[in-house]
Amino acid sequence: MKIAVIGSINMDYSLKVKMLPEKGETILADSFYTAPGGKGANQAVAAKRLGAAVYMIGAVGKDSNGKELSDKLKKEGVETSGIKSVDTPTGNAMITVDNDGSNTIVVYPGANGDMDEDWLIKNLTTIEDSDFIIMQLEIPVKTVIAAVKLAKRLNKKVILNPAPASVLPEEVFKGIDFITPNETELAVMTDTRDIEKGAEILLNKGVENVIVTLGHKGCYFKNKEDEIYIKPYKVRSIDSTAAGDSFNAAIAVALSEGKTYRQALQYANAVGALTTTRPGAAETLPFKDDVEKFMERE
């Protein structure tokens, strides 16, 4: 089974702090590092490490960050011919992580903003060759809409991770097989904080399946026939960066391997939980073996 990730590639600038700063506050960080990230690239690496064949379709700048990030994906075994180099600087993210592992992230999209419909068409063969298409919202929404429509026309399974939170045009929902908001993203899209009602609203808009990630409370699944709550794995979380990304990748990998919804959700919960026990994004994502051992142990 093959997975194409259409999405963002960023360099992350991460600061470890004791407590996230208040508005208007200046604080000192305990440590700082730069590392590969971007929701799209993280999802591609995670899916690859979990055993899938993965294509990345994205954009980086013609700068040292762009080269480093493309090389990193290649080294991970992700197929990178779908990454274009553009004149706009590579996207980046400013991340602060506190002692509980909670974070704040501000993304400058940069080159990710140059992802357009033409580039999707140039990568048509890749999309045709994939079973699952995963997207997020760090590239232009109109490109996401075009990709959803194209994927549907080609009869592909579409997973949309609606992050960062956005109000989406109605036309996008009908082509989505799985939408995976967290509670905040669900509230922004549906105007309610009630997750069951919010999921129902998305189903009525035409989405086939809704998965709400609930952080340390696990996750919630709803479609027209079924409703499932999956309990969380209890771990000592030190950095939640990319946990949502690995969760999305795990859903795609598990479903493409023929797992049931319940098994896929359980697996994705384990992958997400394990991700929070390590600092950083793409570089510390778990491998298939780590996840299997973790699930046996728990």
Which residues contact ligand RIB (rule: CB under 6 A)? 8, 10, 12, 37-39, 42, 93, 105, 107, 138, 241-242, 244-245, 281
Of the listed 71, 131, 245, 289, which one is catalytic? 245
Give the list of residues 6+ apart from residue 87 with CB closer than 8 angstroms, or none.
61, 62
Q: How far is the CB of 242 from ligand RIB (least distance, A)?
A: 5
Nearest to 16 by CA among 102, 103, 96: 96
Residue reference for tokens 């045709």: 128
Angle made by CA atoms 25, 26, 29, in degrees to the nearest 5: 130
Residues forming a β-bridge with 85: 60
Tell me whether residue 8 or residue 180 sits nearer to ligand RIB (CB atom): 8
DSSP-derived letter for residue 17 is -
Determine whether 100 is an active site residue: no
Tell me whether residue 80 or residue 175 sits nearer to ligand RIB (CB atom): 80
Tell me whether residue 264 or residue 281 sits nearer to ligand RIB (CB atom): 281
Number of neighbouring beta carbons within 10 Å of residue 154: 13
Angle made by CA atoms 168, 37, 120, in degrees to the nearest 5: 50
Residue number of the CB atom closest to ligand RIB: 37
3-state secondary structure of 270: helix
Q: How far is the CB of 166 from ligand RIB (least distance, A)?
A: 14
Tell me whether residue 164 or residue 232 sits nearer to ligand RIB (CB atom): 164
Beta strand pairing status for 132-135 and 91-97?
A: unpaired
Burial class (CB in 10 A: 0-12, 13-18, 19+), 214: middle
Q: How far is the CB of 113 from ligand RIB (least distance, A)?
A: 13
Tell me whether residue 178 or residue 261 sits nearer to ligand RIB (CB atom): 178
Q: How far is the CB of 110 from ligand RIB (least distance, A)?
A: 11
Q: How far is the CB of 91 from ligand RIB (least distance, A)?
A: 7
16 vs 37: CA distance, rounded Å:
16
Q: Catalytic residues, which ones?
A: 245
